[in-house]
Amino acid sequence: MHRFRGDTQRAVGDPHRLGRDGEPLMRPAYEPGDLALIYLAGTYRCPAVVEVVAPPAFDVEQRRWGWRTPVRTVAEVELERAPWLEDIGVPRISVGRQSRLRLRPEQFLAGARLIGA
């Protein structure tokens, strides 16, 4: 998940591409009930754990982050206190230009523990 707003709207955004028929591609695979660790690109930090509360929906008004997924924040810390990727066992190079990265259970649990979830 690439975009996160922990405000009243509480949603994450994911990138998309449009197919030849104009339909959106790259639908996120997560489902309601899934837990996710939020990574903020460029910071190398993970400041929140969220629960997906509804399926991803495509928002045609969004130029770049068309897939929007409603979430509930389970735990959140200030960015300055958020765990680094290395703290959870994820090398910085592995995120590269990825918008999503599947974590091993122990990586997710390390991040959730450090955030206080």
pLDDT at 21: 86
Domain enclosing residue 25, as ranges: 3-115
What tokens appear for 89 in the block?
């066992």
Cβ within 8 Å of residue 84, ≥6 positions away = 44, 45, 46
Whether the pLDDT of residue 96 is over 80: the answer is no
Whether the pLDDT of residue 16 is over 90: the answer is no
pLDDT band at 9 (very low <50, low <70, confident <90, very high): low
Q: Region 70-94: what's the mean pLDDT?
A: 92
Asked if residues 76 and 6 have their Cβ atoms less than 8 Å apart, the reply is yes
The DSSP line for the chain is --EEE-SSS-EEEE--EE-TTS-EE------TT-EEEEEETTTTEEEEEEEE-S--EE-TT-SS--EEEEEEEEEE--GGGSPBGGGGT--GGGTTT-S--PPPHHHHHHHHHHHT-
pLDDT band at 15 (very low <50, low <70, confident <90, very high): confident
Higher-confidence position of 89 and 13: 89
- Distance between CA atoms of residues 18 and 38, nearest Å: 25
pLDDT at 7: 53
Total of domains in the chain: 1
Residue 76: CATH number of its domain: 3.10.590
What tokens appear for 24 in the block?
């959106």
Higher-confidence position of 19 and 35: 35
Q: Region 67-91: what's the mean pLDDT?
A: 93
Answer yes or no: pTM beyond 0.85.
no
